[in-house]
Amino acid sequence: MNRLTIAWRNITRNHRRSLLTGGIVAFGFASFALAGGFMAQSFDGLRDNAIRSGLGHVQFADARAFDQSEETTLQFGIGHTSRTIEVLRADPAVEVVMPRVEFYGLVSAGGRSVPFAGIGVDAEAEARGSSIPKSVHEGQWLEPKARGVVIGGGLAKALNARLGSSVTLLATTSDGTLNAIDATVRGIADISIKELSERYLALPLSLAQDLLTAPDTVSRISVILKEPAREPEAAARLAEQLKQSGVTLGVKLWSELAVFYQQVRMLYLAIFGFMGAVLLVVVFLSTANATLMSVSERIREIGTLRALGARPQRITSSFILEGVLLGLASSVAGAVLSLLITFAINISNIEMPPPPGSVKGFIISVQIIPSAYLVAAAAMMVTLALASFFPARRAARAPIVESLAHV
């Protein structure tokens, strides 16, 4: 009879205790795997939202603009952008090129005036590479040649504006003078961030350039790639191609610009690490108590094995093997439980309330992360092995006479 068979029979001696211990481990496994899947889904959502909200995978601008506040980005705008956009679009790795003009101004409607954060965009490119056009819940997205604007729901409320309302935009031009244009509200966007919703105003790129008297000039150019995994090499290659065409620009990846994403990611990792550590301690203490009881009940058996010539190390390793086997079996049960819970959550469309600073909640979703399952299984087996090691080693080293006399 091999050691695995013996170890499994020892595990099943006391069904109730083994089931209780296994249940604790399975719960710990499921908690670890589900938390990892939720965190991964959150990271993917935040990353995609950052990229599709306008950052792109790669962003080009005057190198000085990256170090300036948004209010002064046009001071270091990119001139003669038609050639730059043509070079970028010619690269086979590029999916969408999104030129943008960012500026601030004052919008008036019906006697009310409100400050706004304006963004002039290529309407067709944004529809292909940005998530913002999909957020328009009233009316339609921009038309390239129309004198229409899309405003955030908060801004529409502040202006008491609706679809078809006439608005006047006032902004400082590139040469420091004031200029104004009239436009019509074409769409109202449902933007989750309250502060942005109260200031957001999008208009066609050509209309923004007319307002700012900055023809063929943009603040930044965002690029969506076909293969995001190759962002660094694509950024370097595109920058070199622009340089060869006579255009020298600063370039940054989305991860360098998405400060909020990095902050949230670090916070989630810290919380997940702390919760994981607490979970392992709870599992260890719970299983150590059950293992201690099991060892105490088998002290005479240990003494008999010692009397027959078994070495303390071999006896200790037998208990460790039992812990690893129980951890493995419990991990399999925990994996099944995790998959069932993940499936139930993903089909339930459970909506969470809006986070601080937002006006829109989100649907809970959990990913299945094989690496999280492997790490959870390894953590559970190591925890049970350690929980078995300490009481087993102490019992195996006890004098044989004391062990045989144990009642």
In the chain the first and final C-alpha atoms are separated, in Å, by 28
Are the C-beta atoms of residues 118 and 212 closer than 8 Å to each other? no
Mean pLDDT, the chain, integer: 85
**pLDDT at position 179:** 92
Write out pLDDT tens, residues 216-251: 889 899 999 988 878 888 899 998 998 888 888 888
Are the C-beta atoms of residues 383 and 287 closer than 8 Å to each other? yes
Give the pLDDT band (50/70/90) at residue 339: very high
| Angle, alpha carbons 207-150-130 (nearest 5°) | 90
Give the pLDDT band (50/70/90) at residue 341: very high
Task: Tell me how far apart the alpha carbons of residues 274 and 263 are, in angstroms, rounded to a whole number.
Answer: 17
Task: Tell me how far apart the alpha carbons of residues 90 and 78 are, in angstroms, rounded to a whole number.
Answer: 19
**pLDDT at position 96:** 92
Residue 70 has pLDDT above 70, yes or no: no
**pLDDT at position 353:** 64
Higher pLDDT, 118 or 313: 118
Task: Tell me how far apart the alpha carbons of residues 191 and 130 are, in angstroms, rounded to a whole number.
Answer: 13
Neighbours of 320 (CB within 10 A): 19
β partners of residue 218: 78
Residue 298 has pLDDT above 50, yes or no: yes
pLDDT mean over 101-128: 91
**pLDDT at position 182:** 93
β partners of residue 223: 58, 97
Q: Cα-atom radius of gyration of the chain, to the nearest Å?
A: 31
β partners of residue 170: 106, 180
For the CA atoms of 252, 255, 260, 266, the dihedral, rounded to the nearest 10 degrees, stands at -140
- Mean pLDDT: which of 43-52, 154-163, 285-294, 307-316 is highest? 154-163
**pLDDT at position 361:** 60
Give the pLDDT band (50/70/90) at residue 401: low
pLDDT mean over 10-28: 82
Task: Tell me how far apart the alpha carbons of residues 123 and 130 are, in angstroms, rounded to a whole number.
Answer: 10
Residue 163 has pLDDT above 90, yes or no: yes
**pLDDT at position 405:** 66
Are the C-beta atoms of residues 235 and 251 closer than 8 Å to each other? yes
Give the pLDDT band (50/70/90) at residue 55: confident
**pLDDT at position 338:** 92
Residue 52 has pLDDT above 70, yes or no: yes
Give the pLDDT band (50/70/90) at residue 403: low
Residue 357 has pLDDT above 50, yes or no: no
**pLDDT at position 335:** 93
Helix (H) or strand (E) holding 68: none
Give the pLDDT band (50/70/90) at residue 68: low
pLDDT mean over 375-392: 86
Residue 73 has pLDDT above 60, yes or no: no
Helix (H) or strand (E) holding 223: strand 220-225
